[in-house]
Every structure is written in structure tokens, then in C-alpha cells.
């Protein structure tokens, strides 16, 4: 798949970025180079290659057999009033935050 100027403009618009023509051209070139590299990687035969790291092996990497990750168990939520008490601004029901995206 080849990235076009139209694709770059579309993604820049989604990210609310204003790119110059030079920046758009550089992004197109860089993204196409990344995709070409991924294509090169997909040509490699990795069927008989062992994974180098797995999350399930974190505890065994140091020789320990203990699972370093805690079990997923339901916990009590922070009470609504306590959460709002620590907020710099609230309207009594919701947190008040400044607007950060302008279009």
C-alpha cells in the first residue's frame, strides 16, 4: 500500500495538525519508508524462531517462579464525593476541565 498526499492530509486533519507542503511531503516519504520496511520484515520466515520475550515469562526471567502480575479481582471504587473533593474544579457532579481542542 502506498501512502499518498491525500492520506497524509486526512490523518493530519484527524490529528488536528496543520502541515506545510514541505512537512506533508516529508511525512509521505517517511510513512512510505516505514511501510517498505514492514514489507521487508514480512518476507522473513519466522516459523521456527522462538519469541524473545513473553509477558507470561516475566516471573521466570530472574529465576523466580512467582507471578509478578496481580490477579484481576474486583475492588471498591473511589466514592464519587471523594473523587470530586480532590478536583481543582467541579460542578458538584462532574470534573470541570479547560477546553483543549478548538476547531
* Per-residue pLDDT reduced to its tens digit, 29-50: 999 999 999 999 889 888 888 8
pTM, two decimal places? 0.50
How many helices and strands in the chain, by DSSP H and E?
Answer: 3, 0
- Residue 51, classed as helix, strand or coil, is coil
Question: CA-to-CA distance for 55 and 61, rounded, in angstroms?
Answer: 10
Mean pLDDT lowest among 53-57, 87-91, 95-99: 53-57
Amino acid at each position: 500500500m502506498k501512502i499518498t498526499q491525500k492520506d497524509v492530509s486526512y490523518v493530519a486533519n484527524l490529528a488536528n495538525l496543520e502541515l506545510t507542503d514541505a512537512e506533508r511531503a516529508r511525512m509521505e516519504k517517511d510513512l512510505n519508508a516505514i511501510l517498505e520496511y514492514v514489507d521487508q520484515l514480512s518476507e522473513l520466515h519466522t516459523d521456527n524462531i522462538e519469541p524473545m520475550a513473553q509477558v507470561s515469562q516475566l516471573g521466570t526471567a530472574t529465576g523466580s517462579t512467582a507471578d509478578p502480575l496481580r490477579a484481576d479481582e474486583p475492588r471498591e471504587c473511589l466514592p464519587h464525593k471523594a473523587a470530586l473533593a480532590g478536583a481543582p474544579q467541579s460542578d458538584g457532579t462532574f470534573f470541570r476541565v479547560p477546553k483543549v481542542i478548538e476547531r
